């Protein structure tokens, strides 16, 4: 595995692989890798691509009150895990390589970016869309892999790619979960043992919501209330949102008639966790 | 010359040329070609590139009160001129090829976009940056050519390319002028004979400003006043702005100490004309 923090080196290496006819894949991450990240690499390997993983904790997507400073970092461990997973090129640029001058240019995906996490994290998705555009332009990948855990992020990236005619395919990989169902997240490390135990309620309440839909429930507000009640009953977590929305466009839903996503965000102390479940409801179900 | 309105066809043709080792150039235009546009093509030919010219009157960069509807169009004439100039591929997409669904994604270059033309045309440069990003992603050029007449546009594109790590070089080509000095513009066709005669005052007043700087004038406000006075004295045009700004960053300048651009915008009836002159002032002059 080659490891570099230099854009010019990434371009040189990737350019050679492209010339050899290799497909190029990017797996953008903020590091502190877990099995979820590694499953993205596996998927890219299955697609026979030259796999570039970026590790960059992007200040542009953190609000002033957010956890940029304390976001977990462990580059040596990440590097070993990435190499083991088959990453071909690890790109871990220093701040000044990504932002050598004040960043005047921003990429924004309106509407989809202002609901769910966008409401409590204003500017977050603009920061994500902007840095992902930079990474795409640096690596010029054919394929880009994102985890479904950040469901809204994936929808925003997909829409951005379509709207701006970016020449690549976005692939989504299912949420990796701990044995008890908790969605893997680099931020889980911040949970106290009790918070960690309580946090399983995110997945459990989503499962309960899914079961209710399978049982015939079609009212979005009733479902949200069901999930909220469960989270409040079984944890000390403070709910940021519990919402049922259209799976493709994240638009508001009242009566469930097509594919929906149930998305939740809950704070445990200073740690904010998210999870979601996509449920395919056909009109004939 | 190949002519197409289809993104897929552009990609196929350009992809082949790239494989053959050709450099790819893009000359983005809104059509109604004049010698200024053709000089961009000449420059690209000199750089031995495969030249893609786009002709697309982009609604995203016109305000609701602006001249999108009446912007001059003559695709057959443009096509003949482009072929003659050596354009290899003419891309003239219909609206629905460029904007098949509501455009949620916008690219914005802050600060530089809100001065000069940005003040009287809010959203204009966001529309430009967004469509140029789309064109770049469609064509994936190595080189992009822009005329210096739209000086602010060039600075915005250059900054966007740097900020977003777009893998291409932006080249600027000097303003093409009529014999009497008027900067060529597709909008000149709208001028009445008298307005056309009066419009030479833009270039003449810029020349006068340049001469004053050569003569030792260093006060930006005095220079602007000199130019304003001349325009008002010799034309019926209504001044939108006359400004001396830093040539690289378009920042305000009081005392001229380095390279500056003198930029003017003047309305003749419904027709808004712009012109500019870059003046290199060394600190030791």
Cβ–Cβ contact A250 with B under 8 A? no
Chain A residues touching B137 at Cβ < 8 A: 164-167
Is B180 inside a domain boundary? no
Same domain (yes/no): A169, A191: no
| Mean pLDDT across chain A | 96
Query: Who among B109, B134, B165 is closest to A164 (CB)?
Result: B134
Query: Domain span at residue A111?
Result: 2-173
If you search the block for the tokens 């979960």, which residue do you land on?
A: A177
Tell me the β-bridge partners of A106. B108
Residue A169 has what pLDDT? Answer: 98
Residue B134 has what pLDDT? Answer: 98
Same domain (yes/no): A21, A158: yes
Task: Give the pLDDT mean for A20-42.
Answer: 97
Question: A138 vs B165: CB contact, 8 Å cut-off?
Answer: yes
Cβ–Cβ contact A103 with B under 8 A? yes
What total number of domains does chain A contain?
2
Domain boundary, last residue among B115, B142, B173: B173
Residue A72 has what pLDDT? Answer: 96
Is B243 inside a domain boundary? yes
Same domain (yes/no): A91, A194: no
Is B154 inside a domain boundary? yes
CA distances from A79 to A1, A38, A53, A74, A190 (A): 9, 12, 10, 9, 21
Angle at B141 between CA B140 and CA B146, to 5 degrees: 130
Is A152 inside a domain boundary? yes
Query: Who among A101, A106, A137 is closest to B166 (CB)?
Result: A137
Same domain (yes/no): A160, A21: yes
Q: How far is B129 from chain A (nearest CA, A)?
A: 9
Which residue of B7, B52, B106 to mutate against A (max A Cβ within 10 Å)?
A: B106
Is B82 inside a domain boundary? yes
Model confidence pLDDT, tens digit, residues A118-137: 999 999 999 999 999 999 99
Question: B137 vs A106: CB contact, 8 Å cut-off?
Answer: no
Model confidence pLDDT, tens digit, residues A184-224: 999 999 999 999 999 999 999 999 999 999 999 999 999 99
By C-alpha distance, which of A172, A214, A217, A202 is closest to A276? A202
Q: Which value does ipTM take for this structure? A: 0.96
Task: Give the pLDDT mean for A80-98.
Answer: 98
Residue of chain A whose alpha carbon sits nearest to that of B110: A104
Domain boundary, last residue among B113, B142, B173: B173
Model confidence pLDDT, tens digit, residues A41-74: 999 999 999 999 999 999 999 999 999 999 999 9
By C-alpha distance, which of B212, B269, B195 is closest to B238? B269
CA distances from B206 to A280, B224, B267 (A): 65, 10, 16
Q: How far is B270 from chain A (nearest CA, A)?
A: 32
Q: Look up the CATH number of the domain holding residue A200.
A: 3.30.1300.10
Is A181 inside a domain boundary? no
Same domain (yes/no): B132, B84: yes
Same domain (yes/no): A125, A74: yes
Chain A residues touching B165 at Cβ < 8 A: 7, 134, 137-138
Angle at B73 between CA B70 and CA B78, to 5 degrees: 165
Q: Look up the CATH number of the domain holding residue A36.
A: 3.40.50.620
Same domain (yes/no): B34, B153: yes
Same domain (yes/no): B217, B146: no
Is B155 inside a domain boundary? yes
Tell me the β-bridge partners of A252. A245
Specify whether A124 is catalytic: no
With both helix axes pointing from N to C terminus, report the angle between B124-139 and B7-19 in degrees, rounded to the nearest 10: 50
Cβ–Cβ contact B214 with A under 8 A? no
Same domain (yes/no): A74, A159: yes
Does the structure show a pLDDT above 60 at A284? no
Same domain (yes/no): A87, A24: yes
Domain boundary, last residue among B173, B202, B236: B173
Q: Is the pTM of this model over 0.90?
A: yes
- pLDDT grade for A147, boundaries at 50, 70 and 90: very high
| Cβ neighbours of residue A12 closer than 8 Å, sequence gap 6 or more | none
Residue A156 has what pLDDT? Answer: 98
Is B178 inside a domain boundary? no
Same domain (yes/no): B42, B150: yes
Model confidence pLDDT, tens digit, residues A218-268: 999 999 999 999 999 999 999 999 999 999 999 999 999 999 999 999 999
Q: Is residue A163 within 8 Å of B105, Cβ to Cβ?
A: yes
Phi, psi at B161, each rounded to 5°: -60, -45
pLDDT in tens, chain B (285 residues): 999 999 999 999 999 999 999 999 999 999 999 999 999 999 999 999 999 999 999 999 999 999 999 999 999 999 999 999 999 999 999 999 999 999 999 999 999 999 999 999 999 999 999 999 999 999 999 999 999 999 999 999 999 999 999 999 999 999 999 999 999 999 999 999 999 999 999 999 999 999 999 999 999 999 999 999 999 999 999 999 999 999 999 999 999 999 999 999 999 999 999 999 999 987 544
Same domain (yes/no): A101, A154: yes
């Amino acid at each position: 595995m080659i490891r570099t923090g230099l854009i010019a080196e990434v371009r040189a290496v990737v350019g050679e692989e492209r010339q050899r006819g290799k497909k190029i894949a990017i797996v953008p991450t903020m590091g502190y890798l877990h099995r979820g990240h590694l499953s993205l690499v596996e998927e890219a390997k299955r697609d026979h691509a030259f796999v570039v993983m970026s590790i960059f904790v992007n200040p542009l997507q953190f609000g002033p009150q957010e956890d940029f400073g304390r976001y977990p970092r462990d580059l040596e461990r990440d590097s070993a895990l990435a190499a083991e997973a088959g990453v071909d090129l690890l790109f871990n640029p220093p701040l000044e390589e990504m932002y050598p001058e004040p960043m005047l240019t921003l990429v924004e995906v309106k509407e989809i970016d202002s609901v769910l996490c966008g409401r409590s994290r204003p500017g977050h998705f603009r920061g994500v869309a902007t840095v992902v555009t930079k990474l795409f332009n640096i690596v010029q990948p054919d394929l880009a892999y994102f985890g479904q855990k950040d469901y809204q992020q994936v929808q925003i990236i997909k829409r951005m790619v379509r709207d701006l005619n970016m020449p690549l395919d976005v692939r989504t990989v299912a949420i990796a979960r701990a044995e008890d169902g908790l969605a893997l997240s680099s931020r889980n490390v911040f949970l106290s043992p009790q918070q960690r135990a309580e946090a399983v309620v995110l997945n459990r309440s989503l499962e309960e919501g899914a079961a209710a839909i399978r049982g015939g429930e079609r009212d979005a507000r009733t479902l949200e209330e069901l999930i909220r009640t469960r989270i409040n009953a079984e944890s000390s977590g403070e709910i940021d949102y519990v919402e049922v929305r259209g799976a493709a466009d994240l638009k508001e839903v009242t009566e469930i008639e097509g594919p929906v996503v149930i998305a939740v965000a809950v704070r445990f102390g200073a740690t904010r966790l998210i999870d979601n479940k996509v449920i395919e409801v056909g009109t004939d179900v």
